[in-house]
Amino acid sequence: MQLKDIRSTLQDCEYSIIYALLERSRWKYQESLYNNPNSLFYELLKDTESIHEKAGRYKSPEEHPFTNIQLTNTTPKRYLYHQLLESQHKSINHNTSILNYYTKSILPMICQPGQDENTGSAITADINLLQAISRRCHLGKIVAAIKFRENNKLYLECQQPDDILKVLTNTQVEQEILTRIDSKTKLIKTIAPHAKNIDSHSIQSIFKKIMSITKDIQVDYIHKLKHY
């Protein structure tokens, strides 16, 4: 597998995330739901992940739960990505950072504050969006594995995580992604009139952070790979 083989998957994720962002913007942001670990939001998130675990969702290399559910599904399943990743890759889970950014920054950015009668719809949209963002970020492990295989000598020479980050970063590709996000957002908004108050700059800002978290995951993977 080469980088070009994973890029189409990453681009598909962009559509999923943009649409999910615009969909979530329909409902208000009730801040107290996200500050209380015993709230309906966390209860439904954990229940949803428990059901998905039974279906084998977290056997997929790029899927990780946000809550501390018991991983009991032992159904053997081999994905193409498993051929690339080292056995310890599942220890790399950055969902804590994703959830914190989502509740503290994304929601206040795209939603009106307050409380309405659509709490259940809002939480369902939250879960869909969180899972989409998490998947996009953790696909970074596959990207990192490919890059390491293509130029392992360069990465082995890196002494610190910051050195790995410098090698990984491609500002031209990142700008191309942001330009594409702008175009996709404007396109999707033509069929999502409820999201007229969200501008493409806000979506681009969110994707900048998504790319940052993705690079953190890549650095984490390569740094650990050197010590496996």
Task: Summarize pLDDT for 123-167 with one digit per residue, the tens.
Answer: 999 999 999 999 999 999 999 999 999 998 999 999 899 999 999
Q: Is the pLDDT of residue 193 over 80?
A: no
Nearest alpha-carbon partner for 28 in 95, 97, 117 = 117
Quick one: pLDDT band at residue 228, thresholds 50, 70, 90? low
Q: Which band of pLDDT confidence, cut at 50, 70 and 90, is reported for residue 194?
A: low
pLDDT of residue 192 exceeding 80: no
- pLDDT of 183 reads 94
Contact indicator for 137, 213 with CB cutoff of 8 Å: yes
Q: Which domains, and CATH codes, for the chain? A: 3-225 (1.10.590.10)
HSE-up of residue 141 (Cα within 13 Å, Cβ side): 26
pLDDT at 96: 98
Per-residue pLDDT of 49-71, as tens digits, reads 999 999 999 988 999 999 999 98
What distances in angstroms separate CA 64 from CA 24, 35, 60, 147, 199, one per listed residue? 21, 22, 8, 22, 30
